[in-house]
Structure 1
Amino acid sequence: MLIRGVVAADVPALARVHVDAWHVGYAGLMPQGLLDTTTVERRTASWERTVRTQRDPREKILIAEVDGTPAGFAHTGPGRDPDAAGTGELWALNVAPSHWGSGLAPYLIEAAHEALRHAGFERATLWVLTGNSRARRFYERHGWGPDSVTREETIRGFSVAELRYTLDLRLD
């Protein structure tokens, strides 16, 4: 297992991991119509734009590579919430379902914590689906905790309920 920065050649595999993780992990948790519109083509176009675009130097896309193939990713950067001044954010962490339970996700989240620290953040946030108990348990095992801030996020016209988690990066 290798954790490294993203390169343009990763985009097709990155999109596949993203879509597969959403379709399996969010089944029954997100509106089916949203999952149906979450396609490899749509994710590929989105990741191509993201990887090509000049980003804030504190933003990192980390790839977890297994046997030469991307099997997961973490995307970190500055916090995007109105109250997030000086806070980092774990924007996304997804692992291919075929690698769930392999130990890849804990390795990847620790690398994300380190990327956030290296970017100068002492505190970080993430958003998780309120009903996603599997993800919530995972984050809690890695030091994150809910801060009781909730929101209804609209994604492509579909509403999903989310809960914010925080992490003190100085304690991790």
Structure 2
Amino acid sequence: MSDYEVRPATMRDAKAVAEVHALAAKAAYEGILPEEELRVLAPASREAKWREAIEFSEPQVQVAVLDGEIVGFVGFDRSRDPKTPSTTGEIWAIYVKPEHWGKGIGVALWDAAREGLEEEGCTTVTVWVPIRNDRAMRFHELAGFKREMKTAKTTALGTVRVEEIRLKRSVA
């Protein structure tokens, strides 16, 4: 049994979600993005985005809380990819503070997203992962996601171009 509570995010959580996003992204992209790009991963640049997401539920946001502190979050909704059926959901973002990596929080967040997507009538779920982000790739593959090899694409992360691939699995 975990000591973490996973619950829907509230407007008051936007700042903490932005902080988790910045800290976790900085750690996750170390060695993938240059140092100057890592420095601009500031919470302030993300807070408005997450406030809007929480307010309008686009995406739906769930947070993991430990002793009153938000230590992780997941954003999920229908797939943003063109030409995907309305029964396809997507993990838009899933991040955990680095000091809590490997403690089951990501799995708890994934479970919450899976349940939410199932309630929305989704039967499959996708996630886009940078190919060089070994930790994220391993996490999703352990959660049953399979790489869709023909989906590899180059995306801009700041001023850098990163290769991403879509992974997919059934919601059930």
Same fold (TM over 0.5): yes
Q: For 1:112, what is the secondary structure of its paired residue? A: helix
Structure 1 CA distance for aligned equivalents of residues 92 and 160 of structure 2: 19
Three-state SS of the structure 1 residue aligned to 2:31 is: coil
Map 1:90-109 onto structure 2 (within 5 A): 90-109=91-110
- Residue aligning to 1:63: 63
Q: Deviations over 1:58-95 (max 9, x none)?
A: x4201111111111001000101113222110001000
Q: Per-residue displacement from partner, 1:116-162 (whole Å, max 9, x unpaired)?
A: 11111001110001011111111111110101111111234432110
Runs ≥4 residues deviating over 4 A: none
For 1:62 and 1:150, the matched residues in 2 are separated by: 28
Aligned positions of 1:68-87 closer than 5 A: 68-86=68-86, 87=88
2:16 is aligned to 13
CA distance in 2, matches of 1:30, 1:78: 28
Long gaps (5+) in structure 1: none
CA RMSD of aligned residues (A): 1.5
Selected match of 2:47 from 22, 44, 62: 44
**1:24 and 2:48 equivalent?**
no
Letter in 2 for 1:119: E
- 1: CA distance, partners of 2:52 / 2:33: 25
Q: Which amino acid aligns with 1:96?
A: K
User: Aligned partner of 1:93: which letter?
Assistant: I
Q: 2:171 corresponds to which residue?
A: 169
Alignment partners' CA distance in 2, 1:47 and 1:128 = 20
One-letter amino acid of the structure 2 residue matched with residue 49 of structure 1: E
Identical columns (%)? 31
